[in-house]
A and B are shown apart, each in its own frame.
Chain A
Amino acid sequence: MALLEVSDLRKYFVVEKGIVRKNRNYVKAVDGVSFTLDKNQTLGIVGESGCGKTTLGKTVLRLLEPDSGVITLNVNGRSINVLDADEEEMRLVRKKMQMVFQDPQSSLNPRMPVKSIIGEPLKILKIAEDPEEREGIVLNLLTDVGLGKEHMERYPHEFSSGQRQRIGIARALAVGPDLIILDEPTSSVDVSVQAQVLNLLKRLQETWNMAYLFISHDLGVVYHMSDRIAVMYLGKIVEVADADRIFDNPLHPYTRALLSALPFPDPEFRGKKKRILLEGTVPDPINPPPGCRFHTRCFERKANRPCKREEPGMREVEKKHLVACHNY
């Protein structure tokens, strides 16, 4: 049984215009997203800015209330419907699903010392109610992420951004989760620190037996981290497959365009690889194009396909490789 099952998740944001006659529009940030995530696995979610990756992460955790959809979390031999969870179930959800935010600067309360930032969930979720026991756990967590005892009493502003992200990770680990949603955990730290944080995450995944939902716009990073990769475009998943399959045999035109933009570290290949240049920009998510959302920029649109009219469904083209495109 999969650890997390998400089906047909939708989150629309209301945009109101006008004073007297209100014009209601919806930004369809997440529009019918389904995926499953197994234990100890990493699912990478890639897509460009504004395609709904972060909203998806927050909605799965129910930090944003979705408009429709089903989220099922299978932990401790129980199957919890996250969106209908009562208070007791929600506490279990919070214990088992945690999140690391993109910006470690703003995601740590500037008024609290590290000790309390990490220790607070232990107290609230009644994992360790004795202060001394809690301090011991916090210290272990800090050592796990490469920080030490001397950092316990310090405040977030006294750390570098890499260290802050480590604190964010330690905090997520504190409750002993089965799944961590990593929302661009490395995008706000510089490249040399990125590698450290990524390696730390990999190491922690092995020792703690956790699954990751790894959200990023960086294909290289996602490939390095993920078992499976889902590509998002305008609020929808357009292709899902094992990481290697996505890189070896990308099917969706958008995925192929993304991959062709990936820089090759080996100068031998320079200039030999054909780059696909997409025309235009991402359409307005308030008025997504009818039919296939990608058809306005698609370079492989065929006249005999209903791209402009019909929305393509997800089809399993090869084993465990799903694509939403009329060409397949």
Chain B
Amino acid sequence: MREYIVKKLAIAVIVLIGVYTITFVLTFMMPGDPARVSMGQFGNPETVKLIRQRWGLDRPRYVQYIKYAGSFLKGEMGMSFRYDRPVLDVIKYRFPRSAYLGLWGILFSIVLSIPLGIVAACKQNTPLDNAAVLFSQIGRSLPSFWLGMMLIAMVAVGLGWVKVVPEVEPGRLWSFSGFFTSLDDYILPVITLGTGLMATTTRMTRSSMLEVIREDYITLARAKGLPERVVILKHALRNALIPVVTLIGMQFLLIVGGVIITETVFGINGIGRLYVTSIQMRDYPVVIALTLIYAFGVVLINLLVDLTYGWIDPRVRLR
């Protein structure tokens, strides 16, 4: 097990070097010059030249490649062009909001979709099942930017129940009580982000359950005289959860895209918006840093999913 984790992390280092190189090349291939962008269309050419020197953009590419790599190894991830501060600080300030939104989005999805999927599977082809399928179909088809705007228009503006833009301080979000009370502000973004995820998870749980409850060992569990609740929750669900766990793991990565849209709609100053504006402003260090963090997240979550398999399915031996 430990050996397995160490091996995976060693592979992660190679992956990160590859991702760094590709991102570096792609970023510098983008048309547009960061210095020009920051000075505007009518910027003084002399000033632009000075800025290029200051940001090291006048040096050969390979020097810049090594310089960035060095700053990552030191941990500060270089200086942001736009904020004139270490990239790490810029990200640190925004990360809690995005993480909060993302985590609640997934929690919201899991808490609703898994029970819904189980009920739908147990009552297959009843109106209840049809409603669950229809509901998840609709949830899947709604674009999140549209859903977000509708929620703002109806719930926040129309009914006036919640704020349009969440105002909680990032520091409070992750305090013990703040984690739950801040949801007052974040409820609409969480629903916007979670609905799409929920739809997929419901379908997956339902079909996986349907497959499992046809198995002989479920009939056998009933023959043992177990109450139906135990048959479904203990024997069926644990076997049915294997593909669902993979899906949820993948969703932790997919929500990065969802977070970008949701944050833009709700004006949340998080990582998603930072990503988009950094690309627009050609803030190379931030773009590279965020891409690398994302890549590391992919590796880490895949590792976590693998470890969860080992726990859920005894047939999986990690080597």
The finding on whether chains A and B are genuine partners in a shared complex, rather than unrelated, reads yes
A interface vs B, CB < 8 Å?
A: 58, 61, 63, 90-91, 94-95, 98-99, 101-103, 106-113, 120-121, 124-125, 155, 157, 171, 175
A-B contact count (CB 8 A): 68
Apart from A90-B225, A106-B216, A107-B220, 20 more pairs, CB < 8 Å: A63-B222, A95-B225, A101-B216, A101-B219, A101-B220, A103-B216, A107-B219, A108-B217, A109-B220, A109-B239, A110-B239, A110-B314, A111-B235, A111-B238, A111-B239, A111-B314, A120-B221, A121-B225, A124-B227, A175-B224
**Chain B, Cβ-Cβ closest to A121:** B224
A171 to B221, CA, bound (A): 11
- By size class, the interface of chain B is 20 to 34
Interface pairs (17), CB distance under 8 Å: A58-B219, A61-B223, A63-B222, A94-B225, A103-B216, A106-B217, A107-B219, A108-B217, A108-B220, A109-B220, A109-B221, A111-B313, A111-B314, A125-B224, A125-B225, A171-B220, A175-B225
Q: Is B3 an interface residue (CB 8 A)?
A: no
Q: A16–B234 Cα gap in the complex (Å)?
A: 32
Q: Which of B211-240 contact A (CB under 8 A)?
A: 215-217, 219-227, 230, 235, 238-239
Query: Which applies to chain B's interface (DSSP): helix, strand, loop or mixed?
Result: helix
A80 to B313, CA, bound (A): 40
Contact A94 B315 (CB under 8 A): no
A179 to chain B, nearest CB (A): 12
With A and B bound together, what is the CA distance between A125 and B216 in angstroms? 20
Using Cβ atoms and an 8 Å threshold, which residues of chain A touch B312? 111
Q: Name the contact of B314 in the complex, choosing from A91, A103, A125, A155 (C-beta under 8 A).
A: A155
Q: Which residue on chain B has the smallest CB distance to residue A122?
A: B224
Q: A102: which B residues are within 8 A, CB to CB?
A: 216
Contact partners of A101 in chain B: CB under 8 A: 216, 219-220
Nearest CB to that of B215 among chain A residues?
A: A106
| Residues from chain A with Cβ under 8 Å of B216 in the complex | 101-103, 106-107
The distance from the CB of A15 to the nearest CB of chain B, in whole angstroms, is 14
Chain B contacts for A171, CB-based, 8 A: 220, 224
A94 near B235: Cβ-Cβ < 8 Å: no
